[in-house]
A and B are shown apart, each in its own frame.
Chain A
Amino acid sequence: SREGGYGLGREALPEEIAAWDIDVRPDGQGLPPGSGDVMTGEALFVERCATCHGDFGEGAGRWPQLAGGFGTLDSEDPVKTVGSFWPYLSTAIDYIHRAMPFGDAQSLTADETYAITAYILYLNDLVDEDFALSPETFASVRMPNAEGFFDDDRDVTELALFSGEPCMEACKDSVEITMRATVLDVTPDDGLAPAE
């Protein structure tokens, strides 16, 4: 760095910042003005989203499931949806507005984004069918897994355990193979070594 900087770049205009700065924080900072209700959201969802995500957010084919999965996070196969897993409502609004529909990003208005998000909340039994999502009602929605996250604790839980001089000689009596990738046989054929 140098004193006074390099004098490079120019000041960003308010219109430019508004065009690009569309992010929404968990505390609601960045929420665009607007509103959308569940019923409006259902129609939009069927038109813009259901091909991939299913009429009820159940997910078509391999596309992501958006609703359900409650009580599965500690199971063998967690089903992570907006309802069962996402900690913040802001994330759904932000992401739908920013990146959905897949292949036609940033084509939804703020009202449409609120409506579709309201419908996804309804599919997850988190709001009633007469609910309208807006900056005013944003804080009234409780996300079930809001307390399900904690900051990286590897420094405390793992680093000491995984440090120190390891065994180098006669470390165990015997070794058995317990699992083989070739039993599953899911590796693409062309990835293997050239035939002899």
Chain B
Amino acid sequence: MSDRDPPFRPDRRRLLTGAAAAGGALIGARMAMAQTAAGTPDPAIVNLPPWTRYLGDGVDARPYGMPSQYEAHVVRRHVPWLTADPISSVNFTPLHELDGIITPNGLCFERHHGGIAEIDPAQHRLMINGLVHRPLVFTMQDILRFPRENRIYFLECAANTGMEWAGAQLNGCQYTHGMIHNVMYTGVPLRLLLEEAGLKGSATWILAEGADAAAMTRSIPIEKAMDDCLVAFRMNGEALRPEQGYPLRLVVPGWEGNMWIKWLRRIEVGDQPWGQREETSKYTDTLADGRSRRHTWVMDAKSVITNPSPQAPIRTGPGPVVLTGVAWSGRGTIPRVDVTLDGGINWHRARISGPSLDKSMHRFYFEFDWDGRPLLLQSRAHDSTGYVQPTKEALRAIRGENSIYHNNGIQTWAVNEAGEAENVEIS
């Protein structure tokens, strides 16, 4: 028998690849296969696997590549009971499966109010009207002839973590914190388009409007519009995904996701806010006394530990653990993140790795040796203004439990002796 004989008969090989194709459900089992008894040769090494013997797909097989079949569990998920229907609804980015700071386009959470508009870019127009010297219509070709900028920003839904105001509810950071993504946008500064139309002296507000079946609208002060807003047509280098506003969306750095109007078709310039549905009935924050904050635009400093977390338990037992998570602030950068393993009795400085960019996600790590005893994990972000992420208790003391939006309170995961993590609140 030659050394190069196939280690498996074909039927055996088919069985293995077929089973592995079941994906996530077998991750644990596959990891367990790596544990071999002392002195027993590892079959993953001594057996010749099919991918080493046989040829794989050619370069013509995957014109637009997709993740490995073994990553099939890394997907957006939704919670059916959250909304009346899946059209005006939200899904969640699988934060616990990601690393670094860039969210892959296909995993960026979605929030629509009238479903995904499927727009032919040749039929798309952007109008600027109102208090301008010359109302204008742009085609996509026109937009692509303006000078461009590339910027990495987080987009966080105002309702991210909103289900957790009254207590621990959903079990996983994908659900508690996954209404966020962080990508590089390529676009034209909104300022250049407004200047092309020429602002009148009385111009103090803009109204941005989408082309979808909700014709989504939000009022934005002119200072923000002229500062850092972009009219973006690319994310992470490629065209926007339809669910992210293809062919054109507004980028409103640091501010609540609702204002980042997708399928952007119109900018009206005016001299007062429009009091639209999405800034009166929605995206206003009701306090305990029944009064409501409005125009709560900026997203405050926030963080979450993504691993370990309920969807990403410690499977390896005691010993070295890589604790990691993400932090961000609508007011600037994140120079520091603290983490605690004991529910906030003692804190440690985490290590930030990767770029620290204004109004962008930051990635932090804290490596420690786990002794196998229960843990109460928290992270606490500091932003470049000196703001320190508050506890949920501190927020509720000011706002009550019914403000729906803007929950940036510190998240706690309880890890038990088995390494399983749970969303909890602690004293």
Contact = CB atoms under 8 A, between A and B. Distances in A.
Interface stretch (A35-43, A115-123, A179-187): A179-187
A23 B209 contact: yes
A10 B142 CA distance: 10
Contacts, number: 273
Interface secondary structure of A, over-half rule = loop
Interface string A139-167: 00000000011111110011101111011
A4 to B, nearest CB: 10
Interface in B381-398: 385-390, 394, 398
Contacts of B73: 194
A87 B209 CA distance: 21
A161 B130 CA distance: 41
Given A152-B293, A163-B388, A187 B172 contact: yes
B290 A148 contact: yes
A151 B295 contact: yes
Contact of A188 (B79, B88, B298): B79
A192 B136 contact: no
Nearest to B418: A196
Interface string B394-425: 10001001100000000000100000001111
Interface string A54-93: 0000000111100000000111111010100111101100
A5 B195 contact: yes
Interface residues of A, number: 84
Interface residues of B, number: 108
Contacts of B28: 194-196
Interface in B163-192: 167-172, 174-175, 191-192
A6 B380 CA distance: 46
A25 B272 CA distance: 9
Contacts of A180: 168, 414, 422-424
Contact of B138 (A8, A20, A80): A8
A98 interface: yes
Nearest to A18: B129
Interface string B6-27: 0000000000000000001111
Interface in B195-249: 195-198, 207, 209, 213-215, 217
Contacts of A179: 167-168, 424-425
Given A154-B298, A170-B346, 18 more contacts: A12-B128, A21-B129, A23-B209, A24-B274, A26-B272, A99-B114, A99-B214, A102-B87, A154-B293, A161-B390, A166-B388, A174-B427, A181-B171, A190-B77, A192-B310, A194-B28, A196-B29, A196-B32
11 contacts: A21-B130, A23-B217, A74-B290, A152-B295, A152-B297, A171-B345, A172-B344, A187-B170, A190-B77, A191-B171, A192-B311
